[in-house]
């Protein structure tokens, strides 16, 4: 029954049917399926939306609708409570870098970290290096997470990291980069401390960094 419902969720995301996406997500939650598993089905649906966009069947407006539905289900239905609790809290600043307005991946990471006891300041999307520097100086976060989904984003991330260095703040914060535009090689080349491929992985890296911070103090 859950398997069938999971497929309904994938199909309704692919078909951009918001009501069915919300209904099937609620039913899956009631059946005890974790938010993370539901999220994975939604991502599968999004992959199919993307395939339709690539083949010319869907247009930009459809991608916008897909983004709207993801936001809707994430804010109305999903609560990321299935993740391991971590007792050592840390301060995190997050941003999607300049020129990039994709926010869904960043928002999921922010939600997961908040539900795991991290204090998260989300600077939003299209954030210039100056604003990142300003916030790191003001807040002294333990971790800075930069997100990027488009081809120009790795360059923008590198600019942000360079701006931190120029401001003398690079040594005070650990930088994680992630999002579809980034690879571990690109992360290393731009001088980030870590690359993260997804939600669980990002949480794990944050835990590791907090453990290192605790060891340093």
The single residue among 113, 175, 199, 206 that binds ligand B12, judged by CB under 6 A, is 199
The single residue among 64, 79, 138, 211 that binds ligand B12, judged by CB under 6 A, is 64
- Residue 32 Ramachandran class (φ > 0 left, ψ -120 to 50 alpha, else beta): left
Classify the C-alpha dihedral 74-76-77-82 as positive or negative: positive
The single residue among 109, 127, 143, 144 that binds ligand B12, judged by CB under 6 A, is 109
Q: Is 81 in the site for ligand B12 (CB under 6 A)?
A: no
Q: What angle do CA 98, 40, 198 make, to 5 degrees?
A: 40
Q: Is 178 in the site for ligand B12 (CB under 6 A)?
A: yes
Interface map 17-56 toward ligand B12 (x if CB under 6 A): --------------------------x--xx-xx---x--
Minimum gap (Å) between residue 199 Cβ and ligand B12:
5
Whether 141 and 93 have beta carbons less than 8 Å apart is answered as yes
Cα dihedral 33, 34, 37, 38 in deg (nearest 10)? 70
Minimum gap (Å) between residue 1 Cβ and ligand B12:
26
Three-state SS at 188: helix
How many Å apart are CA 38 and CA 29, to the nearest integer?
8
Which residues, including other chains, have CB under 8 Å from residue 52's CB and lie 6 or more apart? 14, 58, 62
The single residue among 19, 31, 79, 151 that binds ligand B12, judged by CB under 6 A, is 151
Give residues 127-146 in contact with ligand B12 (rule: CB under 6 A).
Answer: 145
Q: Is 98 in the site for ligand B12 (CB under 6 A)?
A: no
Judged by the rule CB under 6 A, the positions of this chain that interact with ligand B12 are: 43, 46-47, 49-50, 54, 60, 63-64, 66-67, 70, 99-106, 108-109, 145, 147, 149-151, 178-181, 196, 198-199, 202
């Amino acid at each position: 029954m859950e398997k069938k419902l999971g497929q309904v969720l994938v199909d309704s995301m692919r078909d951009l049917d918001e009501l069915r996406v919300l209904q099937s997500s609620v039913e899956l939650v009631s059946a005890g399926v974790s938010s993370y598993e539901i999220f994975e089905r939604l991502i599968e649906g999004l992959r199919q939306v993307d395939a339709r966009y690539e083949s010319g069947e869907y247009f930009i407006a459809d991608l916008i609708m897909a983004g709207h539905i993801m936001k809707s289900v994430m804010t109305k239905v999903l609560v990321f409570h299935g993740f391991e609790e971590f007792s050592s809290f840390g301060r995190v600043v997050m941003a999607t870098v300049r020129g990039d307005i994709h926010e869904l991946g960043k928002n999921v990471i922010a939600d997961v970290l908040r539900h795991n006891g991290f204090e998260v300041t989300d600077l939003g999307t299209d954030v210039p290096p100056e604003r990142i520097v300003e916030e790191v100086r003001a807040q002294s976060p333990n971790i800075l997470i930069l997100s990027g989904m488009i081809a120009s984003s790795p360059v923008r991330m590198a600019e942000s990291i360079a701006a931190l260095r120029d401001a003398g703040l690079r040594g005070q914060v650990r930088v994680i980069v992630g999002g579809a535009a980034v690879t571990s090689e690109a992360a290393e080349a731009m001088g980030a401390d870590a690359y993260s491929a997804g939600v669980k992985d990002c949480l794990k890296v944050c835990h590791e960094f907090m453990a290192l911070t605790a060891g340093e103090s």
